[in-house]
Structure 1
Amino acid sequence: MAVKKHELVADNRNQPDLAALAQYFQMMNDQPNYLPPPQELVKHCQDIVKCLSRTTGTVEQLWQMLQPVEQFLLRVVTTVHGDVRHEIFTAILDKFYSYISDPQSDACPATAAVLIVIDESDEESALSAARWLVQQRENGPAGAGLRAALSCLYRWLYEWHGTPALGNWLIAYIKALEENERFDVLIETSVDNVAKLFSSMANPAPLQQKAADAIFHVLASLRESTEAFDRISSHVGDVLVNLAADSGQWSRQLLQNLVDILTAMVDGILESLKGDAQDLFRDKYADVILCLERHMASRASSFLQLPPWRTRNVCLPAVNPHVPMRKVGLLNLGNTCYMNSVMQALLVARQFSTHVVLKMTAVPYWAKMSVLFAEMMHSISTKLNPSEFFSVVKPPFFTRDNQHDSSEFLGYLFELLQSYEHCSDRNFDYTRPPVLNGASRLRMIHPHVQQQSPHAGDDHAESSHSRRSVSPRPGSSAAGSSSSGHKRSSGEQETLVPPKKRFRMSDATFLRRDSFIDSMFGGVLLTRVECTVCHASSLSRDVFRDLQLAFPEKPEGWQHSVQSLLEYYCSKESLSGENKYECRDCGGLQDAERSVLIETTPKYLILVLKNFKFDSKLQVQTKLMHSMYHNHSVTLPTVRSQAVHSVYNLFAAVIHAGTTLDSGHYYTLAKDNDQWHKYNDDEVTFADEGQLNGLNRSSTPYILFYRRTDIEEGTAPSLEELPPKLQELVMAHNKHYVDTVRKIRLTRP
C-alpha cells in the first residue's frame, strides 16, 4: 500500500508544520519496502531542512516529532542507490548551510537533526563536506556568511543537546576555516561566543563528548587572546566548582582539560606582558589564578598541541605536523618528482602564480598551469594528480618514466610559456608539437646533450669546464653565455663535448618589456673584457633567467657558500694561452681579463648549483658533495645603479637526494606566509629555516629560488577572486573529491 501524497504545509502562512511532517514520515517508515522516486526524495529532504529551520521549541518538546524524521533520513542515506544518495546528501547539506550562513536567519537548533546523515565515525567525510561548503559559500573577503554560520553553530552547541553529530560537524567546520586561514573569522566570532560556550560546561550531564571537544578546541586555540580570557574570567570559579563537586569520571575529565587550558592561557598572556602590565594582570585576575592553582594543572591536555589562532600578519612558529594544513602535494606519476618539485617552488613565487591564475586563463599552456595552480591553492584534498598539465608541458625529448633534470625542465618550461604569452587558448590543439623559439629548437634537435654535458641541466653552457653558465632567453640565437676557455671547476674532468660557438646577441634578444616571464625572472649580465697590454676593453650583454654556479678549486674540508659562489662567478678571469682575447686595438691575440656584473636584477633570482660532473673516462654523471652553507640572504655583484636592488632572500629550494643524477629523487623546501614546508611529491610536512643546512651529505640543494627584498608578496587569491571559469573548475574538482570520499565510505564492509 503506497503512502498517500499530501502537502507537508499545514497552515495558511505557508509555513511547514513539524507535526504533519513527522506523521507523514512515520507512515513512510512503517512501509520499509517503499520509497518515493529520486526527485521526490530530494524534495522531501529539502522540505525537512526548511521545516526544521522554522520550528520553535526545546529538545524535550520536539524530540517525539524529530524521531521519525531522523529515522527517515537515516534510512534514505543508507539504502538508496549511490548516485541518488550523493545527490540527496549534497541537497541536504547545501540547504542546511544556506540557512545557517544567512546573517539574517534565525534557524532553529532542531535543524541540526539533519546532520544524522553524516557518519560520526568518519571524520574525513565530515571534513571534506565542510571544506566544500566553506569554499562554495565563502561570501567574499568580509566573510559575512562564514561568521554567521560559525555563530549559529556555537549558539546551537550551548542551546541544543539532542544531536550528537553537532559537535562533530562544528569541529569539521572549524578545521575547514583553519585550512582556509580564516583566522579573522575564527577569532572574532569565537571571542563573541566564548563566554556562553565556557559556561555551558558547568552542567556536564547533557554535554556530548564531541561538543566538549569542540569547546576545548576553541579555548585552546584562543589561549593567546587576552580578550577571550577576560570574557570567561567571571565564569571560571562557578564552572570549576560545579565540575569538582561531581565525582564522576566525565566531570573529572572535563575539569582537568579546562584547568590545563586555562593555566596555559594565563602563562601565555603573562609571558607576552612586561613589567607593570604583568602586575596589573595578576591583580585583576588574582581570584582566577588562585582557583586554577588549587586544582593543579597537569599541563598534559592534548588540546594544547593545537596551534593558537593568530591573524595572518603574525609569524607562526613551527607547530604539530599532524595539524591540518592548506598545502597540497602532487602525485608522482612515475619519476615525475623533477616536475613536481619545480611547480611547488613556482607556486610560492606569489606574484608569478597569482598572475597566472588571474590573467592567463585564456593563453595556451598558461591556461593548463592556471588550473593546476588554482587547484593547488584551493583544493580541499591533500594531493592532486597533475597529469593533465604534465602531459602538455613535459619536454618532448624527455623519455617517459625516467628521471630527468629539474633545472632542464624549468628552462624548457619558461621557453614554452614565453613562446605562447601573447596567443589565444581558444580551440588550441595540444596534440600538435609546440612551436618554440630558436634556442628551444636547438635543444630539441640535440636531446643527447644532457647525457654528454658535465652538468645535467647545462646543455646551454658554452664549455664543459666553464665556471659560468647562463641560460638563454627563448628567441635568442645563442647560448647567451660568456666565451669559453676558463679554468676547470672543482672535480670536473675533460669531456668529449666540443666547446659551443660564441654568438652575438641582437638587440631583439634582450629583456622583452612585453614578456611577463622576463619581467619576473629575467636579468641582464654585463661582461667586460680588458686587454692587459693596451687596456682597451669591450662590453657585451647577455640575458639570463638563472645563474649556474660552479665550485672553485679549494682545499679539502673547505666550506663553500652560495654567496662565495656568486662572487666567484663574477670575479676576474684570465684569458691566456689557447683562450687569448683578440684585441682590435692591438690587432692580434692578447692576454686579457674578463669580469661580470649584473646590470639588470630580476625580481626572482634562480641559482643552479652545479653539483654534477661528467667523467669522460667512466662515461657517467657523478655528483659533487662539497661542504656547503646555503645562505638565506645573498647580495648580487651589480653595477652601481642596481646596488639598491641587489639583496635577495631565499624562499624555495629544490633538493636532489641521491648520489647519481639518474637515480636520485627531487623534493622542495619552500616558505609561504613565513612558514616553511617540505613538499615531497604528495606528502607535505612542516619544516623550519635551518633544515636546508642540516641535510645529509647526499641530499644537496640544487635549484635555489630567491626573492628581491623590495618585492612585496601578497597571499594567494581567494576562490571568489578567480575568473568564473576557473572557479567552476576548482569547485567541480572539490565536489568530485567529496563524492569520491563518500563512495569509498559507502563501499566499506
Structure 2
Amino acid sequence: MPQLFLNLSDNEKECSIGIGYLLQAIPEAYTSVVDPFIQGLDSSALWRLRFTVQRLINWLVTIDLPGIAIWIVAIMESLASRGEFMLLRELADENAYKIARQLAFKARRKDALLVLRFMLLGYHHSPVLFNNIVQGLLPLVAKCRKTSEDITFAGEINNLAQILLIHFGDTDAVSTKVQKARAFLDLPVVSRAEALQTMQENSWKKSLHIQNTSAGFRRRPAFAQPLGKVGLVNLGNSCFMNSALRALFCSTEFKQSILSDTLKVEPSKVMTTRLRETFNNLSTPRLSVVTPSALYKALPNWLNDGHQQDAAEFIKILFSQLEGEGPIPKEALSSFQGTAVNQIACGTCGTVSSNKEEFYDLTVPLPRADIAELQALVDIFPTIEKLNDENNNKYFCDKCKSLQDATRSTILESVPTNLIISLNRFEFDVVRAQRIKINTPLHLSENINIKVRDGQEAQSYSLYAVVIHTGDSANHGHYYTYARDSAAVDVVTAKDQDAATWLIYNDTRITISSFEAMQQSLERSRADTPYMLFFRKICHISPKNEVTQVIRVKRSASNL
C-alpha cells in the first residue's frame, strides 16, 4: 500500500487507471494503514502526497469508480493530523467546484458528497468555497423526489447547506432558497446546536474550539494577503483563467480602461461588465479572496466546462468577445495591439505581394534544448522563410503564372504598449497522435529589444508578468503567474516600491518574490515553464525630463 501511494505521488509519470480499480477493490478496513504510513513521512514526502490526492480526485470526476472517495478522505484526514492545512486548502480551492458538479451523476454522487463534506466542513474559516457552489446544489434538491434514495441524498445536501449557512451567515439571500428547498421535500430543520457539533467534529484543526454565540459561530477573520492584494478562487481547473487575469490586471492601461467603463451593455454582451466586476473586486484589499464565477460563466460553454483549458486560448477568446462590446473595451485592447506586414517576393520577377494584419500577441517557436535564451527567441523578427522545391512549398506567382521560388517574410510595422509573447510549448506528435509539451527551460531577461521595420530603432521592453504552466503533459497541469504592476516599468520611486515588487499569484495564494528568485527557480525546473510573457514598452526619456527617469528599486533578499 505505501508503495502504491508513492507511485501515485510521482508527478512525472503517467499512472494507469488500473491503480484506481485496484483501490476500489480493496476493503474499506484497509484504510487504517493510511495514517501510520503518512505519520512516518518527512515534510517533502508529505508535499508530494498532493499529487496522490489530485490524481484520485481526477479519477473521481472523470470515471465511475465507486468507493474511491474513502481513500481520498483517508489521506486528507491524515494530512490534517500532520497540520498540512495549506496543502488541504489548496486542494479544496482547486477541486471543490468540480467535485460538486459530480453530485448531478448518480453513479458518482455518494463519493463526491463524502469528499465535498470533508472539504467544506473542514475548511470552515472561509465561506468562499461554500458561497461558490451552494447555488448549484439547490437545484439538485428540487429534482430529488422520485425515490427514497433520492430524498435521502437531498436531505444530506440540504443538511450540509443549513449547517454552513448557520456558520457563515446568509449571503445573496441563499438562506431563503435553502429553506424553500427544505420545505419542498419536508426535510428536517438543522438546529444551531446540531450545526455546532457537526462543525466541531469535522474541523481539520481538532484543537480549534468553535463557540456558539448570539452572533453565530466565532471564526477567524479573513487572512491578509501581501501588499493588500486579492486572491482568485479556483473554480475547478480554472487556473488557466486566473493566471491570465492576473497578468491582465497588472497591465495598467488595460485595467484602467476596463474600470472606467461604467456604461451598461446589452444583456448579450456582458464580458466587459463581468471583467470590470472582477477587476473592481481585485482592487478591494479587504476581500482577501474573490470568486470570479460570473466571469467564468460568461465564457463559451466549451471553455467553462470544468476541464483544464489553455491560458493563451482564454486571452484570445476574451479579447475577441471584448472587441464586439463597444468603444471602451476596444480602447482597452489598443494597449496590446500591434501591426505586422506579411510579404512574399517572387524570386523570378521580383513582384512583392503584401498584406497587413493586427495582432494582440506574438507566438514564437521554442527549440528543444537544455535551455533557451529569451532575446534569441524574439530575434526571429523580421521572420524570413524560403519557399522552394527543397522545402516543398514553392509559391504560385500571379505575374509569372507558375510556381516559383520565393521569399516570405513577416515584419513588425508597429508594436504595442504592452507586448504579449506566447511560447509555442505545445505541439502535435504524429507518431503518438497526441499533443505533447516542450519542456525546454527559459533564461529570462528583464529587458528585451524587438526589431521593427528597417530604418527604425529597435524598441526596448521590460518584463512585468509571466504565466507559468507546471506539469509535463500538454493536457493536464496547473497555471500560476509571476507579476508586478506594468506602471513600475516607467517610474518607480521609493513611494512606488510595492508596485515594483514581484509577486507569485497562485489562485488564492499570493507570496512575495523577486525577479532573481523567479529566474533561478524556473531555470532549475523542467516542469514549471514560462508560457506567456507580458512586456511593457520602455519610454525613452529626454535629458530635460530626467526627474521622471526610471529608478530601479531592488529589495534585498532579507526583505523578501
Q: TM-score, normalised by structure 1?
A: 0.39
| Equivalence for 2:537 | 708
SS of 2:526's equivalent?
coil
| Equivalence for 1:693 | 519
Q: Which of 469, 477, 480 in structure 2 is aligned with 1:664?
A: 477
Q: Identity rate of aligned residues, in percent?
A: 29
Q: Which amino acid aligns with 2:236?
A: G
Does residue 417 of structure 2 align to residue 607 of structure 1? no
Q: Partners in 2 of 1:542 and 1:692 — Cα distance? A: 34
Q: Which of 500, 504, 512 in structure 2 is aligned with 1:674?
A: 500
| Equivalence for 2:355 | 540
SS of 1:515's equivalent?
helix
Per the TM alignment, residue 633 of structure 1 is displaced from its structure 2 partner at its CA by 1.4
CA contact (8 A) 2:322 2:330 kept: no
Query: Deviations 1:636-684 (Å, cap 9, x if unpaired)?
Result: 120146536x211111011000001222100000012110000000000
CA contact (8 A) 1:414 1:517 kept: no
Q: Which amino acid aligns with 1:411?
A: K
Q: Which of 396, 413, 423 in structure 1 is aligned with 2:318?
A: 413
Q: Partners in 2 of 1:351 and 1:343 — Cα distance? A: 14
1:463-474 aligned at under 5 Å gives the runs none
Query: Deviations 1:355-391 (Å, cap 9, x if unpaired)?
Result: 1112245233211111110110113022111112211
SS of 2:296's equivalent?
helix
| Equivalence for 1:379 | 285
Per the TM alignment, residue 613 of structure 1 is displaced from its structure 2 partner at its CA by 1.4
| Equivalence for 1:633 | 447
SS of 1:407's equivalent?
helix
1:62-81 aligned at under 5 Å gives the runs none
Q: Partners in 1 of 2:511 and 2:441 — Cα distance? A: 26
Q: Partners in 2 of 1:358 and 1:641 — Cα distance? A: 38
| Equivalence for 1:651 | 464
| Equivalence for 1:317 | none
Larger radius of gyration: 1
Q: Which amino acid aligns with 1:590?
A: Q
Q: Partners in 2 of 1:334 and 1:518 — Cα distance? A: 28
Q: Which of 249, 252, 258 in structure 2 is aligned with 1:350?
A: 252
| Equivalence for 2:9 | none
| Equivalence for 1:330 | 232
Q: Partners in 1 of 2:503 and 2:271 — Cα distance? A: 27
Per the TM alignment, residue 399 of structure 1 is displaced from its structure 2 partner at its CA by 5.3
Per the TM alignment, residue 395 of structure 1 is displaced from its structure 2 partner at its CA by 2.5
CA contact (8 A) 2:503 2:514 kept: yes
| Equivalence for 1:259 | none
1:510-549 aligned at under 5 Å gives the runs 515-549=330-364
CA contact (8 A) 1:598 1:638 kept: yes
Query: Deviations 1:408-440 (Å, cap 9, x if unpaired)?
Result: 1110000001111259xxxxxxxxxxxxxxxxx
CA contact (8 A) 1:603 1:711 kept: no
Query: Deviations 1:430-483 (Å, cap 9, x if unpaired)?
Result: xxxxxxxxxxxxxxxxxxxxxxxxxxxxxxxxxxxxxxxxxxxxxxxxxxxxxx
| Equivalence for 1:571 | 383
Q: Partners in 2 of 1:361 and 1:632 — Cα distance? A: 38
Query: Deviations 1:105-134 (Å, cap 9, x if unpaired)?
Result: xxxxxxxxxxxxxx9xx9965x99xxxxxx
Q: Partners in 1 of 2:259 and 2:332 — Cα distance? A: 15
CA contact (8 A) 2:441 2:529 kept: no
SS of 1:343's equivalent?
helix
Q: Partners in 2 of 1:629 and 1:611 — Cα distance? A: 15
Per the TM alignment, residue 587 of structure 1 is displaced from its structure 2 partner at its CA by 3.0
Q: Partners in 2 of 1:540 and 1:547 — Cα distance? A: 17
Rate the CA distance shift 1:124–1:413 in 2: closer, same or farther, 3 A.
Answer: same
| Equivalence for 2:409 | 595
Rate the CA distance shift 1:390–1:399 in 2: closer, same or farther, 3 A.
Answer: closer
RMSD (CA atoms): 3.0
CA contact (8 A) 2:338 2:358 kept: yes
SS of 1:345's equivalent?
helix
Structure 2: gaps of 5 or more residues? 1-167, 171-214, 486-498, 542-560
Does residue 242 of structure 2 align to residue 340 of structure 1? yes
Structure 1: which 4+ aligned runs deviate by more than 6 Å?
A: none
1:356-435 aligned at under 5 Å gives the runs 356-363=258-265, 364-392=270-298, 394-398=299-303, 400-422=305-327
Q: Partners in 1 of 2:399 and 2:244 — Cα distance? A: 47
CA contact (8 A) 2:257 2:332 kept: no
Q: Which amino acid aligns with 1:705?
A: F
Q: Which amino acid aligns with 1:702?
A: Y
Aligned positions, number: 308
Structure 1: gaps of 5 or more residues? 1-81, 85-118, 129-178, 180-322, 424-513, 713-749
Q: Which amino acid aligns with 2:539?
A: D
Q: Partners in 2 of 1:660 and 1:515 — Cα distance? A: 35
Q: Which of 561, 580, 595 in structure 1 is aligned with 2:373?
A: 561
1:473-492 aligned at under 5 Å gives the runs none
CA contact (8 A) 1:656 1:664 kept: yes
Per the TM alignment, residue 625 of structure 1 is displaced from its structure 2 partner at its CA by 1.4
Q: TM-score, normalised by structure 2?
A: 0.51
Rate the CA distance shift 1:529–1:324 in 2: closer, same or farther, 3 A.
Answer: closer
CA contact (8 A) 2:469 2:477 kept: yes
Q: Partners in 2 of 1:711 and 1:684 — Cα distance? A: 33
SS of 1:534's equivalent?
coil
Q: Partners in 2 of 1:355 and 1:711 — Cα distance? A: 24
Query: Deviations 1:267-324 (Å, cap 9, x if unpaired)?
Result: xxxxxxxxxxxxxxxxxxxxxxxxxxxxxxxxxxxxxxxxxxxxxxxxxxxxxxxx84
Q: Partners in 2 of 1:585 and 1:666 — Cα distance? A: 50
SS of 1:397's equivalent?
helix
CA contact (8 A) 2:297 2:304 kept: no
Q: Partners in 2 of 1:690 and 1:583 — Cα distance? A: 51
